[in-house]
Structure 1
Amino acid sequence: MAGISIEVSGDDIAARGLDAIVGRAADMTRAMDSIGAMMRTSVLHRFQEGVDPDGEDWPPSIRAIMTDGKTLVDRGHLRDSVTYAADADSVRQGTNLVYARIHQLGGTIKIKARTQTITRRLYKDGTLSERFVKRTARNAVSTDHQVAAHTITMPARPYLGLSAQDRQQAGEIVADWVTGAWS
């Protein structure tokens, strides 16, 4: 062949493609951030539906039954506290609330014996109201009561974790990032 020629082999193309993939895989912070956002959305959905990562219903709480409310959602502090942190090769999800662990994993709470002060309103006829009132309420009477030691067993109500769909979506995010489908 006269003049000039260029030869490109499949090995060269594959090596350059692999170099590009390895380069993108070295810092996947943006992909991990996207996975963290997806995980946050999944957790919010679990609180809305009252289910664990496998789609199983949480055991209803006594408060939710008594108030016709949602389990693990009274004021929404636990739900709103769930955050994530992404770095070059991982994403972590969690909460800093001290009571979060018992709700996620379940367990037994041991309550020590104690004296409890309650305040109720004293009516003119000498009877006490059944409802508690503030100590500063009009005609308020405070009384002390002994509370025996007891235990409370909390069932696990997992809200953190990955469902099968979450794992698939996370894999797709990583694949799209590494192959350069999005930048």
Structure 2
Amino acid sequence: MSLDLEFSTAELNRLGARLEALANLNEQDQRDLLEGVGALVESQTHRRIRDEKTAPDGTPWDAWSDSYRSTRHGGNSLLMGEGHLDDSIQYIVDGDDVAIGSNLIYDAILQLGGTPDMAPGPAAIPARQHLGLSVDNEQDIDELIEDFLRDQIQELSR
């Protein structure tokens, strides 16, 4: 019985170059990266609300109750009544962090759901998670960061 092991340092070298690029990011480059991530996740969230109608994990949102459906008109769909929620989704870069969300008070109950004992208003609704990252969203972010770092590495090589 024999055992052959092959080891390549190519991936380690690639990781080292990425770490070096990250370590050398100046404040503006860091901000640019966070702005790019924020804009991407904001766009992903808009797509989830407008088109996908699923939670980040791919679970379809519960349909409207029959009584609520009767109050809607042809142009309405889940979380897209007049478009206020979709319009309110934005990202904010604060230091080393980027946050994506809405400033609408009712967004939390849409995201988390509610029970009849919550007040004020009709709070007994199922959660329709729209904030968060799907596996595909995470892959898109990884690709954005990879492209950004590749550009930084090329800059270091000049």
Which residues of structure 1 form unaligned runs of 5+? 1-13, 113-149
1:171 corresponds to 2:142: yes
- CA contact 2:21–2:153 (8 Å) conserved in 1: no
CA contact (8 A) 2:109 2:123 kept: no
Letter in 1 for 2:140: Q
Structure with greater proportional helix content: 2
Equivalent in the alignment of 1:33: 35
For 1:77, which of 79, 84, 104 is the aligned residue? 84
Query: TM-score under structure 2 normalisation?
Result: 0.68
| 2:103 alignment partner, one of 73, 79, 96 | 96
**1:65 aligns to what?**
69
Q: Distance in 1 between matches of 2:118 and 2:23?
A: 54
CA contact under 8 A between 1:86 and 1:92: conserved in structure 2? Answer: yes
TM-score (norm 1): 0.60
Provide closer, same or farther for how the CA distance between residues 182 and 54 of structure 1 changes in structure 2, counting only shifts above 3 A.
Answer: farther
Matched to 2:139, the amino acid is: Q
Please say if 1:24 is aligned against 2:11: no
- Give 1:123-162 correspondences, 5 Å limit: 152-162=123-133
Moved more, 170-179 or 60-69: 60-69
CA distance in 2, matches of 1:182, 1:160: 34
Please state how far the C-alpha of 1:90 moved relative to its aligned partner.
Answer: 2.6
CA apart distance, 1:111: 7.0
Residues in 2 aligned to 1:37 and 1:52: alpha-carbon distance in whole angstroms: 19
State the Cα RMSD in Å: 3.1
Question: Match of 2:58?
Answer: 55
User: Hey, what does 2:47 align to over in structure 1?
Assistant: 45
Q: Tell me how far apart the structure 2 counterparts of residues 95 and 152 of structure 1 sit (CA, whole Å).
A: 18
Q: Which has the higher mean CA deviation after the structures are superposed, 157-166 or 28-37?
A: 28-37
In the alignment, residue 28 of structure 1 is paired with which amino acid? Answer: Q
Shift of 1:25: 7.1
**d(CA) in 2 for partners of 1:33 and 1:54?**
24
**Partner AA of 1:105 in structure 2:** L
Larger % of strand: which? 1
Aligned residues: 132
